[in-house]
Homo-oligomer: A and B are copies of this chain.
Amino acid sequence: MTSGAGERKDPVCIVGGTGALGFGLALRLGQAGIPVRIGSRDAHRAQEAAQKASEAVPHATYTGYENAEAVTGVEIVILSVPFRNQSETLTNLKHALMPDQLLVDATVPLAAAVSGKATRTIGVWQGSAAQQAQEMVPEGLRVVSAFHTVSAALLTDLDHALDEDVLICGDRREDKAKVAELVSRIDGLRPVDCGPLELARIVEPLTALIISINVRNKVRAGIKITGL
């Protein structure tokens, strides 16, 4: 777990993998047989999370690194940090991210980022957090938006059988297909192509909607598209 990340080629890295959603995704991806690198600002915390994930999913391969090291050489980087840290995180990764990588942004501009309600969002100048990410990553690196409607708690509860959709927005079909393939490997999750990246401004606020539904109905809601 402490050897250099650059030496090996793991398919997926989760930046913010010590957070609730990131850790839940790590568990489910590991369960699906996909080696997962967990990234954190603090290498020690990343290694702790990798250790904890290994205990929860013994057959899986988890490693933990500081974010910049974690992203080095992986094909898909999932960015799962609070909105208030998104910009800083991407600035720090400026020289670590490479144009041939895919960044899957799971950030949600909840008003909680500015001490507001979790059932409200704040306006992002670029239209959405995903579009802000697209503006900040190195030239050529493409951003896909996903994972906003999946409950961190349900992902983490490995006894819970998932049965919901992952809404995916992105400008290139091949990129979305790659993310869809990853999503499909998790039992009970179905990928749905929602259109270009700009649609993220409709999908991201769904986290706030789901939080509102959860509060009102005392559930852990998700979303499923009918008619597909």
Contact = CB atoms under 8 A, between A and B. Distances in A.
Interface of A: 119-121, 151, 154, 163-164, 167, 192-196, 198-199, 201-203, 205-206, 208-210, 212-213, 215-217, 219-228
Contacts of A195: 119, 209, 212-213, 215-216
A192 B210 CA distance: 11
Contacts of A205: 201-202, 205
Copies of this chain, complex-wide, total 2
A221 B212 contact: no
B220 A227 contact: yes
Contact of A222 (B196, B215, B226): B226
If over half of A's interface residues share one DSSP class (helix, strand or loop), that class is named, otherwise mixed; here it is mixed
A209 B220 contact: no
B222 A193 contact: no
A36 to B, nearest CB: 25
A194 B212 contact: yes
B227 A212 contact: no
A206 B215 contact: no
Given A121-B202, A194-B209, A194-B213, 11 more contacts: A164-B227, A192-B217, A195-B213, A196-B212, A199-B209, A202-B206, A203-B209, A222-B226, A222-B227, A223-B226, A224-B224
Contact of A225 (B193, B196, B213, B227): B213
B194 A163 contact: no
